[in-house]
Amino acid sequence: MTFAPQNPEQQRVVATQAELTVVLGGAGVGKTTSALAAAHAHLERVAESEPHDRVLFLSFSRSSVARIASRANEILGRRGSQVDIMTFHSLAFSVVRRFGNLVGHGDAVLVSPAREKLGLAQHEIGYSRLIPLTLEIAQAAPAVAEHLRTRWGLVIVDEFQDTGDAQQDLLQLIARDSRLILLGDPNQCIYTFLAEDGVRVERIDEACSAAGAENTILLPETSFRDPSGIIPAVANAIRGRLFDSEAIAAAIQDERLVIQDGIPLSDETSHVARVVSELAAEDMGVAVFTHHNDMLAALSDALEADGIEHEVAGLSDALAAALDAQTAMARFHTGDGTWEIVLEAIAVFLTSAQRGQKAPPIAYQVMNGSGPTTLQARLSALRERLSEAGSIREVIEVAATAHDALGLPQKSGAWQQAATLLSVMYARAARTSSARDDHQMVAAICAEAREASYAALTDSALSPREVQLMNLYQTKGREADATVVVLREGDFMGYESEPFPTTSRLLYVVFSRARHKIVVLLVGNRFHAAVAPLAALAAN
């Protein structure tokens, strides 16, 4: 192991043998690295007495898991094979896939919430059912519960402040007889809108009380993400709404914080693309954060035209479903998918576009061939056009216009955004793929599309590129040399009043992702009161 603690507090984390330890600290202060070192130290201590012991490192999102895994080998060394790094839901899915037959769910296949509304086959389960089903399996099979409780001698939980009731129930199952290390930061609790799921700031405070002062470790504010301390100081000032602070003034003076205002909505995409291109030309990795999927899709198209490799993370359910439907059409054209799969994918899209617990009647009409004759005639015409298309390029064009051709009632914007993304994926596959025929080309496109749509369930990207585009709430577990924060006139920031605690925490998390530079782009003229002081800074 090459990790050397940088301060006494990190040394306490590495050396802890308490049953429950809580580690607190801001973004980039070394919580994850210290915890990995603690995992290594634990395995070394029990190497002779319990040579088969393991450590479980749980996180809230797959993007966090990817970040943790990237650091693990250097720190864990030969003990790396004894540490399992995964999300709560991937842990639950692994249990369901292995033991689901005990409760009638053998060979389980995970499906989206929209697909779940249409009714599940025996082998299909919805994402929201993963953890409850795992608990059901453990209750029905005591041997499975005992296996889970004894598999890991140490369980580490990252981003503990973001866990809800379901994650807590799973944790109580697997860690009843294990030591626990909980990592958290109340200032990064940005999912309080999931209060119905039990996400609340107080959870981390309760953990500290349970651990006691002697086993609650507060890491110093020294940032290892930005050793200069400039970016962390800016993020903390933003969280505290200290917009006139010396930290912000100094960062602006040194061009570590750049705020550009007065950007017309009509120029939003081109302006953002230009900023990203300039940062990428400086060999910086870039993360773009915005509230709006429409801008992400258009920006993806613009960056592809400029030859800038990038990935879009965290698609909405409707956008992911539209992308799935259009790739199903491409697979139908090449004979790699059936027409029934296309119909089901369209039905899932229609369901994703409607709120509520039930699928709309039109979704069932598409799937079973009922409903208005006009709809069936349009579906037949679409099938014929896909079958007769002369190239994959033409198939993508047919798929792009399918929403209007079928007269679908909702989410035409999501469909068009998906068409834009699919066009980008086609261009990328044509440029970089070794595919020699249409089957291979479509397979390459579908592989990237599946990765993108999977993010709608997991809040992550599976193969991060140097330029990442995402919603503001996909920030957790990510970092980049430069972050571009796009704030648009009319952005909804909730109903809070000054000091806007939720939005201030969100801005803190977004700003603290940067290692070197933050660029804030203000599109329009009038902004929510929570972010309006940024416009004032630009004016000065």
DSSP 450-470: HHHHHHHHHSS-SS--SEEEE
Assigned token pair, 409: 């009632």
Strand order in the sheet with 20-24: 83-87, 55-59, 154-157, 179-184, 20-24, 216-218
Q: How far apart are CA 425 and CA 437, in angstroms?
A: 16
Going by pLDDT thresholds of 50, 70 and 90, the confidence category of residue 459 is very low
Confidence at residue 89, expressed as pLDDT on a 0 to 100 scale: 87
Helix spans in 221-338 (H): 230-239, 246-253, 268-281, 293-305, 317-334
Residue 164 annotated in ligand binding: no
Residue 490 annotated in ligand binding: no
For 518-535, write each residue's pLDDT tens digit: 999 999 999 999 999 999
Confidence at residue 463, expressed as pLDDT on a 0 to 100 scale: 43
Are 416 and 293 in contact by the 8 Å Cβ rule? The answer is no
CB neighbours of residue 377 within 10 Å: 10
Residue 117 annotated in ligand binding: no
Residue 354 predicted with pLDDT over 60: yes
> With 0-12 CB in 10 A as exposed, 13-18 as middle and 19+ as buried, what is 196?
exposed
Going by pLDDT thresholds of 50, 70 and 90, the confidence category of residue 458 is very low
Average of per-residue pLDDT across 319-336? 93
Confidence at residue 114, expressed as pLDDT on a 0 to 100 scale: 83
Confidence at residue 414, expressed as pLDDT on a 0 to 100 scale: 81
| Phi, psi at 218, each rounded to 5° | -100, 115
Of the candidates 298, 294, 285, 344, the residue with the CA atom closest to the CA atom of residue 319? 294
> With 0-12 CB in 10 A as exposed, 13-18 as middle and 19+ as buried, what is 255?
exposed
**479 vs 195, residue with greater confidence:** 479
pTM of whole model > 0.95? no
Residue 465 predicted with pLDDT over 60: no
Going by pLDDT thresholds of 50, 70 and 90, the confidence category of residue 72 is confident
Of the candidates 39, 32, 47, the residue with the CA atom closest to the CA atom of residue 15? 39
Q: Which residue has the tokens 């980008």?
A: 424
Confidence at residue 401, expressed as pLDDT on a 0 to 100 scale: 95
**Percent of the chain topping pLDDT 90:** 59
Single-letter amino acid, residue 4: A
Beta bridge partners of 87: 59
Confidence at residue 59, expressed as pLDDT on a 0 to 100 scale: 85
Residue 457 predicted with pLDDT over 60: no
Q: Are strands 55-59 and 154-157 parallel, antiparallel or unpaired?
A: parallel
Residue 25 annotated in ligand binding: yes
Residue 341 predicted with pLDDT over 90: yes
For 225-272, write each residue's pLDDT tens digit: 888 999 999 999 999 999 999 999 999 999 999 999 999 999 999 999
Q: How far apart are CA 391 and CA 97, in angstroms?
A: 39
3 state SS for 76-123: HHHHHHHEEEEEHHHHHHHHHHHHHHHHCCCCCEEECHHHHHCCCCCC
Residue 373 annotated in ligand binding: no
Q: How far is CA 345 from CA 48, 349, 374, 386, 410, in A?
A: 54, 6, 20, 15, 15
Average of per-residue pLDDT across 365-389? 94
Residue 1 predicted with pLDDT over 60: no
Residue 454 predicted with pLDDT over 70: no
Q: How far apart are CA 216 and CA 204, in angstroms?
A: 11
Residue 130 predicted with pLDDT over 80: yes
Q: Are strands 179-184 and 20-24 parallel, antiparallel or unpaired?
A: parallel
Please state, rounded to an integer, the average pLDDT across all residues of the chain.
88
Confidence at residue 337, expressed as pLDDT on a 0 to 100 scale: 94
Residue 32 annotated in ligand binding: yes
Are 65 and 477 in contact by the 8 Å Cβ rule? The answer is yes
Q: How far apart are CA 163 and CA 274, in angstroms?
A: 38
Confidence at residue 434, expressed as pLDDT on a 0 to 100 scale: 65
Assigned token pair, 494: 């909730």
| Phi, psi at 439, each rounded to 5° | -60, -45
Residue 27 annotated in ligand binding: yes
Confidence at residue 2, expressed as pLDDT on a 0 to 100 scale: 67
Residue 16 annotated in ligand binding: no
